[in-house]
Amino acid sequence: MDDAQLYQPVRGDFCEEGIAGPCGLVIFGASGDLVSRKLLPALFALRARGLIPPDFYLLGFARSPFADESFRANVREDLRACCPQADSAAVADFVAACYYLQGDYARTADYAALRGRLTELDSRHRTRGHHLFYLATPPHLFGQVVRSLHQAGLITSPSDPAWTRVLVEKPFGRDLASATALDQALRQVLDESQIYRIDHYLAKDTVQNLLVFRFANAVFEPLWNRRFIDHVQITVAESIGIEERVGYFEQAGLLRDMFQNHLLQVLAMVAMEPPLSFEADKVRDERVRLFQAIRRLSPEDLDRCFVRGQYTAGEIDGRPVLGYRQEAGVAPDSRRETFVAARLFIDNWRWYGVPFYLRTGKRLPRRVSEVAIVFRQVPYSVFAPLTSAELRPNVLVMNVQPEEGVSLSLQIKSPGPHLCLATVNMDFTYREVFGHQPPDAYQRLLLDCMLGDQTLFVRHDDMEVTWSLLTPVLEAWEARGEPFPYPAGTWGPPEADRLLAEDGRAWRLAGSL
């Protein structure tokens, strides 16, 4: 059977899902928690759904001293924890295709050993030399790893029938200069078509649904512009703090951790122009165009349009929690932001003058991610004495998580002899309609990479333009000022409310479908 036959899509009424062809997946940094939390459950689910073929193996590579058997014991334990209902034969089958190679990322000899191991596994699992290298290591090792793979002859050319693809986890740089340098290191040995930069928000079903909703329904797109939309609110709130990631977070802060990537990508899905087709580069061209249209801010505007906050001690779900500066390992005078709110404008014909308010934070009251499209008010009220300002605008809420769904608020006449208006919601949730919530984003990412589909991955120009937009903000924050404090368990500092209040608006209560 050749590759073309293996890539036959499975067709349902409205769906098309590709089945990956044979390949070997090598995970660098295989002893990290991303593997147990995200990658193993996703790979196992893909196998269970028949989307990864039997001609597949997983090779972990890291410094920790494991042998195949001890690595397999960990994999078994992780699968038991994530998927307690899993069939034991399926677990045994999956585990049998897992291997481990201890190695030092900087040692040439270890890459020679890797090459030998891959040759042996490729033949045992009939994977035709197709390799997917997953870099789940700290970013400063990315350049080193791909250079060493290249020197070991493990990176094929894009025209070679045996493909090489490299998946890169974020953070991808910490500003424009470092992201560009990192990218150059990758692109010295890899073609752009071989690089898969992850932003897992792009792979969330509900984020992809933004495009389906807009471009597979005729009713919304005519309204999707400055004539009908008053403003847009994007909220990505988390109730967790920084967990075990103090070292990383003290370096990064929330603008780098969430805003430069997840929030801007969601914004692009809401606001981009229709792509010519759903091909990777057509979609990515439009995302980049959208980012290019975001208004650059002068240094004075930065303070008016970006608000940063840092949580102080407070309560989450009735339990007291520490403030950021009291967390173990955090400097007592740390200025790292744990909250960011911004007002952005998109200078093009569709959106000119429509504010996009974005906010994200740690230790907010609950975990909720949503996009709210707030439509304009009716121009004139025929329901005197009610004025048009008193008639509530329609709001379309796309709930990304945790209760994935869509809701549209409408004004209706409430029953009875008097003319009374009420607001009702027309809504659906994925759980009600499909009986379950959408699969984890990592399933989509891993499968798409195996299929060679880059639509949901970040292209280098996309990454450059988002960093160029935000690097001045980071520089201004490094140079002066402090984040505004907010008690844990609240919706951020009052300054974030002021951002909207000075435009005569207010944040919606996020999570109320």
Q: Which residues are designated catalytic?
A: 262
- When the beta carbons of 200 and 231 are compared against ligand BG6, the nearer one is 200
Shortest distance (Å) from residue 238 CB to ligand BG6? 6
Strands 319-321, 339-345: pairing kind = unpaired
Shortest distance (Å) from residue 293 CB to ligand BG6? 25
Rounded Cα–Cα distance for residues 173 and 183 (Å): 9
Q: How far is residue 386 CA from its own chain's centroid?
A: 43
- Selection from 378, 432, 444 nearest residue 403 by Cα: 432
Site map for ligand BG6, 437-476, x if CB under 6 A?
----------------------------------------
Shortest distance (Å) from residue 497 CB to ligand BG6? 23
- When the beta carbons of 21 and 323 are compared against ligand BG6, the nearer one is 323
How many degrees, rounded to 5, is the angle at CA 73 between CA 72 and CA 74?
A: 90
Interface size with ligand BG6, residues (CB under 6 A): 4
- When the beta carbons of 163 and 249 are compared against ligand BG6, the nearer one is 249
Rounded Cα–Cα distance for residues 468 and 177 (Å): 9
Site map for ligand BG6, 245-284, x if CB under 6 A?
------------xx--------------------------
Site map for ligand BG6, 175-204, x if CB under 6 A?
-------------------------x----
Site map for ligand BG6, 304-333, x if CB under 6 A?
------------------------------
Sign of CA dihedral 104, 132, 291, 486: negative
Nearest residue relative to ligand BG6 (C-beta): 257
- When the beta carbons of 237 and 372 are compared against ligand BG6, the nearer one is 237
Rounded Cα–Cα distance for residues 256 and 471 (Å): 10
- Residue 203's alpha-carbon distances to 360, 400, 454, in angstroms, are 19, 11, 11
Rounded Cα–Cα distance for residues 18 and 1 (Å): 16
Q: Which of 192, 230, 238, 464 binds ligand BG6 (CB under 6 A)?
A: 238
Rounded Cα–Cα distance for residues 479 and 465 (Å): 22
- When the beta carbons of 20 and 258 are compared against ligand BG6, the nearer one is 258
How many degrees, rounded to 5, is the angle at CA 174 between CA 169 and CA 177?
A: 115
- When the beta carbons of 354 and 510 are compared against ligand BG6, the nearer one is 510
Shortest distance (Å) from residue 131 CB to ligand BG6? 25
Q: In which element (H, E) is residue 485 found?
A: strand 484-487
Which residues would be at the binding site for ligand BG6 (CB under 6 A)?
A: 200, 238, 257-258
